[in-house]
Structure 1
Amino acid sequence: MAHSLIKCDLGNGERASFWYDAWCHLGPLINLTGNDGPVRFGISSQLSVADACEGNIWHLPSPRSDQERELHSFLDMFFSIRPDAGIDCYKERSNIKEWSSLIWFKGATPKHAFIMWVAYLHRLPTRDRLHAWGISTPTSCCICSASEESHVHLFLRYPFSKQVWSRVQSHLRLRPLAFHTWPSLLAWTKIKSDLAPPIIRKLACQAVVYHLWKLRNTILHNQVLFSPTAAYQEIVTEIRNTIDARKS
């Protein structure tokens, strides 16, 4: 019981257990991979985070499953260990947020979960945030140029986004609903039904948000346009692959 109330602020990684401490936002990795994780990943259950990483290089074997590839990608993208970062510190976790189950759940795709987490907290570098930071940039949406580019506009209210949400819901044989706020999207993921239980809704939700952000960056940096149909097909293919990889 006490362990579930403690989080680890990662420093040099020498004290934090790679498998059993909550040193990243996925929680204890042993809960994500199961008890056979240390064997499959070749990292002893007794090792610290620092033992598993040297600078930006993680001592992990070549991945042999989708879950292993996703964990590799997550660690490579978002974590590095610095010996001079100070000692790892442990403190009491804050109250669990209502939205945490939408983002951090067993079976989530790490890259999707991360973007969903940052988007839900309105921390992605959308144009309205860049402008608020004092960066000289237009605030209009880089896709439609008709509204200010905010998290709510980009992911929920932009007509392109609405079409993608509608197509994904129809694929799940659900009546399409428009989401105007993040809480309404959160409530939708919690609805239980035989056709689309919460786990499927959460996987779909995260995939849509991830691909909308990816699409936005492709348009902004490469001037390459996609149709809602193309975006929808890519999302459905990725969700199907995720389900197939976790049939057990």
Structure 2
Amino acid sequence: MTLRIPLNAKVSDACTSEGWRLASPRSDQALSLQIYLSTIHLPSDTNENDHIDWYVDDKLCQGFSSSKTWEILRPRDAEKDWAPLVWFKGSTPKHAFHLWVTNLNRLPTRSRLASWGLQISTDCCLCVGSVETRDHLFLHCPFAQVLWSSGFAKLRLPPIVFADWSGLMAWAKGSTTATPSTLRLLLIHAIVYAIWRQRNNLIHNQNTVPPLNIFKEIDRLIINSITARRKMKNFRKLMALWLN
């Protein structure tokens, strides 16, 4: 957009007490700017020094405020009901971030990649028995079910087969004396992360690891997480529950 005003010009060079002195617009942007200028007060023609005022949401700020500007550019939405299941106190950051993306169904599973036009097989690489969707990969794939069964056995629970992702999230919200919510979330975060890591390991490195070996890693991850946070109130009793 060009207004045909010298780069070093002052406001007074483009405005008088009677109005703006601007050349006829040659673009839609220049026209939009001139229309906007016609809706605001003309600059003062006094000899006072110019100054800049920073307004956010029509409110004058005492100087530039990055936080207020950020809030108006990215307004907050109401907290999602799944947020405490993803960002719970004591979660492992990389596990929480991965579960956040998974919960939103934004992972580049093979079915999603194919829907974007990639000419690839949509078969699940862990079982080669079904289309690789989020729900299949993390809930219904035989590889995943071995991990869930092993996890439920550690919690002394009968095997549970979740119909869909919302079923898993509903179970995560539950809590009992033997399986408090924090312990359930640690298990879910670790299993979902481990499945995706092994899926990528198989695709990119052709490295196959049996699910029971993967669960040994999950077991160690959970033990380490509990140990590192053992002084936190919601972690104090988890080690006994996990190892009992």
When normalised by structure 1's length, the TM-score is: 0.64
Q: 1:24-43, CA deviations, whole angstroms, 9 ceiling, x for partnerless residues?
A: xxxxxxxxxxxxxxxxxxxx
* Equivalence for 1:230: 213
Q: Which residues of 2 match residues 1-248 of structure 1 at below 5 A?
A: 15-16=66-67, 88-90=70-72, 91-248=74-231
Segments of 4+ in structure 1 off by > 4 A? none
Partners of 1:175 and 1:145 in 2: how far apart? 27
| 8 Å contact kept, 2:149–2:160 | yes
State the identity %: 42
| 8 Å contact kept, 2:126–2:141 | no
Q: Using a 3 Å threshold, how does the CA distance of structure 1 residues 94 and 88 change in structure 2: closer, same or farther?
A: closer
Q: Report the CA distance between 1:231 and its aligned residue.
A: 0.9
Amino acid at match of 2:111: D
Q: 1:113-149, CA deviations, whole angstroms, 9 ceiling, x for partnerless residues?
A: 1111111111011100111111121111122222111
Q: Report the CA distance between 1:161 and its aligned residue.
A: 0.4
| 8 Å contact kept, 2:123–2:132 | yes
Aligned-partner SS, 1:88: helix
Partners of 2:83 and 2:198 in 1: how far apart? 25
Amino acid at match of 2:66: R
| 8 Å contact kept, 2:126–2:143 | no
Question: Which moves more between the two structures, 173-182 or 119-128?
Answer: 173-182
Q: Report the CA distance between 1:237 and its aligned residue.
A: 0.5
Q: Report the CA distance between 1:180 and its aligned residue.
A: 2.0
| 8 Å contact kept, 2:114–2:120 | yes
* Equivalence for 1:36: none
Q: 1:151-188, CA deviations, whole angstroms, 9 ceiling, x for partnerless residues?
A: 01100000110110010111112222111211111111
Partners of 1:130 and 1:138 in 2: how far apart? 9
Partners of 2:170 and 2:107 in 1: how far apart? 22
When normalised by structure 2's length, the TM-score is: 0.65
Q: 1:179-218, CA deviations, whole angstroms, 9 ceiling, x for partnerless residues?
A: 1211111111122212210011011101100000000000
Amino acid at match of 1:94: D
Aligned-partner SS, 2:127: coil
Q: Report the CA distance between 1:89 and its aligned residue.
A: 4.1
| 8 Å contact kept, 2:149–2:159 | yes
Higher Rg of the two aligned structures: 2
- Unaligned runs of at least 5 residues, structure 1: 1-13, 22-86
* Equivalence for 1:71: none
Higher RCO (CA-CA < 8 Å; seq separation 6+) = 1
- CA RMSD after TM alignment: 1.6
Q: 1:4-57, CA deviations, whole angstroms, 9 ceiling, x for partnerless residues?
A: xxxxxxxxxx824xxxx9xxxxxxxxxxxxxxxxxxxxxxxxxxxxxxxxxxxx
